[in-house]
Amino acid sequence: MKRPFFSRYALLIICIICFLAPFALRGARMSMQRMTNRVKDWLPSDFAETADLEWFGQHFMGEQFVIVTWPGCTEDDPRYQKLVDRIQHQIAPSEHDTGTPQAAELAAIARKPFEQLTRDERLMLDRQRAGELADQLGLCTVGEYFENWGERGEKWLRGDHDLWYFITPQGELYRWAGRSNILNWSQRTFQRSVLGQTQAEGELVSTFGLPSTPEQPNEFHANPELLMARFFKSIVTGPDTLEQLSRKDGPLWPRGVDDDFVAEETRQKALERLKGALFGADGKQTCIMLTLSEPAKRDLRRVIGRALMGRPLGRLLQIATVECGIAEEDLKLGGPPVDNVAIDEEGQITLARLIVLCAIVGIGLSLFLVRSVRVTCTIFFIGGLTALNSLAIVWWSGGTVDAIMMSMPSLVYVLAMSGALHLYNYYRETVEEHGLEGGSDRMLKLGWKAAALCSVTTAIGLFSLCTSTLIPIRNFGVYSAIGVLSTLVLLFTFLPAALYLWPPRQPDAAAAKQAVARRLQPTTFEKGVEKAFEKLGGFIIRRWGLVTLGCVLFIGVCSLGLFGMTTSVHLIKFFDHDAKIIRDYTWLEEHLARLVPMELVVRVRPELIRSTRTAGEHAEADAPSDAEARRQRLQFDFLERMEIAARVQEAVARQLGKQGQGVVGQAMSVPTFAPDLPPPGLSTLRDPIRSVMNRKLEEHRGEYLASDYLRIDRGSPPRADAANPGSSREPNPNLGSELWRISLRVGALQDVDYGEFVGELKRVVEPVLTAYRFREQVLTELDARSEGQGVVRSRVAFLGLSDPAQGAARAEAAGAPQDHQDTAHAPVDQTRLFAKTLRDLMTCAGVQANAPCWHNPAAAEVQPEFYTSAAWGDLLGKKFDCVVLVRDHPAYEVDFIRQHARIFIDARQHTFDPASPLAQTAVQRGDPIHVVYTGVVPLVYKAQRSLLDSLIESTFWSFVTITPLMMFLSRNLIAGIVVMLPNVLPVVVIFGGMGLLRIDIDVGSMMTASIALGVAVDDTIHFLTWYRDDFERLGDRNSAILAAYRRCALPTMQAAAISGLGLSVFALSTFTPTQRFGYLMLTILFAGLVAELIMLPALLAGPLGRFCNPRVSHKRNPAGKQAGGDPAADEKPLTGNEFAQPHIIGELRPSRDGAVIRRDRGHDTRGR
């Protein structure tokens, strides 16, 4: 007779799996080392918000800024100056440093022949080369140099991808040939102890400096910091910026006034500009603002990470705490990189805690259910290896682990243990029936379909998360589904092989009989549960209509909350209130400034840029042509371009800043570092004050370009959409544009609705930009009418409101905000913003736009018929060269105005409504002057909108993919829909309840719907299988429901307890998405338990239940044909004394006539 499969190959299977296990461990470790969280990577790269943030990072350094401060950080603190000095030596050269004297000196030295270089010149070139190579390799210390570890007198540095490098006293830099893992450690130990090979080996990378001598050691070996990557791109400090603004002959220093009189006044004026940005409200507390270089961005934890999970302290923290003596608890860091690193660290802390808790829960459940140490170790090994394998798959496939994916190992671990327990119960039953021989093979024969079906339905729910546009959720769904399916490999190979080689201990024959006798009688607890379920099942069958109606009504009420669901992706809400980042941010926003960046970039295209030329150039140049002269009249000089940024910044500050709604803090832009701009006046060619100011500003244009607030657009691959006109076949119209950055800060701890904030911001900014669009239209029309003679002294009438300048002056005199008396709560007055901006632009162009040019019919004391009279027509047509209708009024007859005006321009469509689908921003219209809205805020807002869409899509696709499977199992289309109805209840109740209770849905909540649906369908499959089997046997629907209810109630509760309690450990996490994922999964699974044990039996007892009835086969189990049984045994319903044990310990055996006979308590013909 042929031996069973596992009796022949069990040992081989165990050896193969044990051989492969270290590879899974290494893959999991590598995945953890590559863990990264960057908000800008959450959305696909083809999203406009992601592309805009990437474009912003290519032009401005401040995209990755870090605020560094501590209590008492002032200019007089010696730790402050020491920290600044240490960081200054680690600043990477910028592309704007090419014109500095140091750069010019290095370039001159590099052009010399090598033989002519002096020793000092060679060292200068070596330092430059060492810095470039260190940046390329990402070299950094881990807190110590491990000097002479390889017995070569070397010092060690670590680079990218955890590669190690060492430099010898001769200045030779090597890449170490070894690796930091168990296999290489074993190999090194053998070489050292047995072969005597103690020196470190590696590949020579480069040589720096001169060889060491007793008198002169090698400079790079003596000071390895010369070989460290330069992690900082720029440094800005409050005191230095204050000194730059208030110094003599600086931007704010008045001309022609006594020095002693104005010094303190200038300093206070500069300090007011910097409060809320680089200084606190007291004017003393200051900070250091750093921007990070590319080597730092590759691994942020090397720079600002804490010493957790075996990782060294970040370089910035090393300098601040170890070298400068600042206590780590006192050090306050803020900014987007700090958020990302904090998520990394909190995710790893969560994983460490969850591993321990999951192990405790898994071992406890295993011991309680199987009562065998051998089997418990086997099941625990399966759960642990599948968890490691799920992480290893991420690394093997080239993916990266993020904080959201940190829940995946525990999820796979719990589901693997649950499946292993189910299979083991099949094994235990078949061993008691037929003995140990062939038990593993019979176990698979009985349970493989159920195990595979459970894994497949769960994986389908997880795969539905692939429809999400949020990349972390998509990755979680894909890798978790693969991990769940991969558990089947261990369940079908390692578990049976281990049970064959190390079966649970068997008692002697007498003890075995006593044990069987004890198992035949239910325990006291089981009796109580059985009695309760029997009464509940009978009630549901009798009152199926009432139960069904109650469930439907409950679902209907909860579904009302679905329309009120709100999402949140606020990063700061990811953390527990006791987390260090929360404590730091609370202190920073109270004592210094707000931290969440919102960036506005004003783009002025090249065709509107006019450069000031010297008088000699004007004299030598030929007179411009008429077309060129008209084009120049529409262009803006440097002062006027700076005023665009200043107007936008002022409007935002008045409406959304401290004197308005209080949403944003102090803004920073080029005007912050410039002198006070002159008021609107004539063109700089006619106004001497504005002309001098323009010339002075343009002289410092290079300095502004060297700052981080003005750039020239180098272009990016244009997107063929409304937001970026043109296509890849057309030249980029934005190439060469000036980019004026306005950096806003939003409170991280404020409960700001980013969607409303971005919409409100556009309400403020877009009217200002629209005024520039109408300026071009007005000037073009006036210039065309004057036949190229210009627009100076032209008169323009503005209809619809009074002079906005007079209204602003009255409000300012009254001490109120200019644009509104109560801007903290009042809506944005877009018409006044538009009108005020247009008035200033007309004045600067030389057009008369003073008070007599403005007409407000509400304030005019005339009769209504006046607006159709000849006097009104003569006033418009003879006194004014152009009429602009700003705001409509019932008294105005637009056709009459258009008929009598020399030039009529309808400017009523100047408002912007973000809620309107027809609303277009300036960048979407393709205007030459527009604003790009970017930063973390728009990205998070887009993620919030995508989160709700992803929830709906993933849940829909879960139903779409699982319902056909249920139809196939039910062999009936309508039956498949009927049995899917109870699975709606958990999802609708939980998410509808969250909507009713106003609980935001975050990324952790979103993942639960599809997962729970896939898991809950498992119970439906089991109940339906028992129901159909009992209906064939009993022929009565109610009796079949009650019999299936008795058999499935306890097993369903058992499965929910295994999964729910296992996943409930997530609720103890300090990482909010993981925490919410845990308790929502527990809640949804038990809601599914109610649906399967209450709603599904009620549906089966009603009219819809007849669609689920199988076709009764007379060939199956004919009366009196069952071996060793009473012919009437299958015909009488089970009583309470015959209540079935969980179905997971039953046995399926094919009979001779092809029927399937189940054998378990209450279903065995031998009375077991």
Domain ranges of the chain: 1-33+372-521, 93-229, 529-564+971-1168, 763-819+826-927
Cα–Cα distances (Å) from 842 to 58, 644, 795, 835, 837, in that order, read 36, 14, 10, 10, 9
pTM above 0.85, yes or no: no
Lowest mean pLDDT segment, chosen from 424-438, 517-531, 750-764, 778-792: 517-531
Alpha helix ranges (H) inside 119-218: 119-137, 182-190
Q: What is the DSSP string of 453-519?
A: HHHHHHHHHHHGGGG-SSHHHHHHHHHHHHHHHHHHHHHHTHHHHHHHHSPPP---HHHHHHHHHHH
Report pLDDT for 1125: 38
Q: Say whether 904 sits in a helix, a strand or coil.
A: strand
Average predicted confidence (pLDDT) for the chain: 80
Which of the given ranges, 17-26, 34-43, 437-446, 574-583, has the highest pLDDT on average?
Answer: 17-26
Residue 206 predicted with pLDDT over 80: yes
First to last CA, the chain: 31
Rg, Å, the chain Cα set? 38
CA 1053, 1055, 1058, 1059 torsion-angle sign: negative
pLDDT of 728 > 60? The answer is no
Which whole number is the average pLDDT over 426-449? Answer: 80
pLDDT of 791: 82
Q: What residues form DSSP beta bridges with 884?
A: 798, 905
Identical fold, 529-564+971-1168 and 763-819+826-927:
no
- Token pair 């549906």 is at which residue? 1099
Mean pLDDT to the nearest integer, 678-684: 75
At 1146, the pLDDT band (50, 70, 90 cuts) reads: very low
Residue 224: which of 172, 164, 170, 155 has the closest Cα? 155
CA distance 610 to 390: 60
- Residue 100 pLDDT > 90: no
The CATH number corresponding to 1-33+372-521 among 1.10.10.60, 2.60.40.60, 1.20.120.10, 1.20.1640.10 equals 1.20.1640.10
The pLDDT of residue 712 is above 70 = yes
- The 3-state secondary structure of 1057-1126 reads HHHHHHHHHHHHCCEHHHHHHHHHHHHHHHHHHHHHHHHHHHHHHCHHHHHHCCCCCCCCCCCCCCCCCC
Query: Torsion angle, CA of 307/308/310/313, rounded to 10 degrees?
Result: -20
Handedness of CA 1063, 1064, 1065, 1071 (dihedral sign): positive
CB-based contacts of 984, cutoff 8 Å, min separation 6:
555
Task: Please report which confidence band the pLDDT of residue 786 belongs to, taking 50, 70 and 90 as the band edges.
Answer: confident
Strand partners, 567: 1001
Evaluate whether 509 touches 79 at the Cβ level (below 8 Å).
no
Report which of 903, 904, 921 is spatially closest to residue 912, judged by C-alpha positions.
Answer: 921
pLDDT given for residue 186 in this prediction? 75
pLDDT-wise least confident of 343-357, 445-459, 912-926 = 343-357
876 residue type, one letter:
L
Q: Which of 842-846, 928-932, 1055-1059 bottoms out in mean pLDDT, i.e. has the lowest?
A: 1055-1059
The answer, yes or no, to whether residue 58 has pLDDT greater than 50, is yes
Q: How confident is the model at residue 725 (pLDDT cuts 50, 70, 90)?
A: very low
Q: Average pLDDT in the 387-411 region?
A: 84
Task: Output 942 or 644, whichever has higher pLDDT.
Answer: 644
Q: Which of 317-331, 485-499, 848-862, 1063-1077 has the lowest mean pLDDT?
A: 1063-1077
List the one residue out of 1132, 1133, 1111, 1129 whose CA is nearest residue 1121.
1129
- Answer yes or no: is pLDDT of 288 > 80: yes
Distance CA 79, CA 537 (A): 74
Distance CA 861, CA 852 (A): 15
Which range has the top average pLDDT, 27-31, 728-732, 904-908, 1107-1111?
Answer: 904-908
> Cα separation of 287 and 1151, whole Å?
82
pLDDT of residue 634: 87
More confident of the two residues 827 and 703: 703
For the ranges 121-125, 134-138, 244-248, 261-265, the maximum mean pLDDT occurs at 134-138
Range of lowest pLDDT (146-150, 409-413, 547-551, 814-818) = 814-818
Residue 263 burial by Cβ neighbours in a 10 Å radius (0-12, 13-18, 19+): middle
**Could you give the 3-state DSSP secondary structure of residue 288?**
strand
Residue 259: pLDDT band (50, 70, 90) is low
Domain 763-819+826-927 belongs to what topology? Rossmann fold (3.40.50)
Cα gap 1100→1038, rounded to integer Å? 9
Least confident among 224-233, 600-609, 947-956: 947-956
Per-residue pLDDT for 16 more than 90? yes
CA distance 567 to 121: 60
What pLDDT sits at residue 616?
Answer: 39
Q: What are phi and psi of 724, to 5 degrees?
A: -145, 85
More confident residue, 14 or 464: 14
Length of the chain: 1168
Tell me, what DSSP letter sits at residue 523?
P
The predicted pLDDT at position 1015 comes to: 66
Smallest CA-to-CA distance from 17 within 567, 572, 489 is with 489
CA distance 673 to 250: 9
| Residue keyed to tokens 């009835």 | 1109
Specify the pLDDT at position 505: 67
Supply angle C-alpha 341, 575, 1006, rounded to 5. Answer: 100
Token pair listed for 738: 């000036």
In the block, residue with structure tokens 């090249």: 606
Comparing CA positions, the residue from 1124, 1126, 1110, 1118 lying closest to residue 1154 is 1118
Nearest to 675 by CA among 643, 697, 644: 697
**Which of these ranges, 210-219, 760-769, 884-893, has the smallest mean pLDDT?**
210-219
Alpha carbon 353 to its chain centroid, in Å, reads 23
Average pLDDT on 811-833 reads 59
Instruction: Provide the CATH topology of domain 529-564+971-1168.
Output: Multidrug efflux transporter AcrB transmembrane fold (1.20.1640)
pLDDT of residue 716: 63
Q: Are 1021 and 457 in contact (CB under 8 A)?
A: yes
Q: At residue 281, what are phi and psi to the nearest 5 degrees?
A: -65, -25
Taking residues 151-162, report their average pLDDT.
Answer: 90
More confident residue, 931 or 151: 931
Residue 116 has pLDDT above 80, yes or no: no
Residues of the chain with pLDDT > 90, as a percent, come to 26
How many Å apart are CA 176 and CA 200, to the nearest integer?
Answer: 7
Edge-to-edge strand order for the sheet containing 202-207? Answer: 155-158, 164-167, 172-176, 202-207
What whole-number distance in Å separates Cα of residue 300 and Cα of residue 297?
A: 5
Contacts within 8 Å (CB) and 24+ apart, 618-621: none
Structure tokens at 747: 């409170």
Query: Exposure pattern of 214-237 as b/e (b: 16+ CB <10 Å)?
Result: eeebbbbbeebebbbbbbbbbbbb
User: Do 33 and 160 touch, CB atoms closer than 8 A?
Assistant: no
The whole-angstrom separation of Cα 31 and Cα 166 is 25
Instruction: Specify which residues 601 forms β-bridges with.
Output: 741, 932
The pLDDT value recorded for residue 516 is 46
pLDDT of residue 615: 38
Instruction: State the amino acid at position 190 in one-letter form.
Output: F
User: Is the pLDDT confidence value at 1167 over 50?
Assistant: no
Report pLDDT digits (tens) over 1034-1048. Answer: 778 888 888 877 767
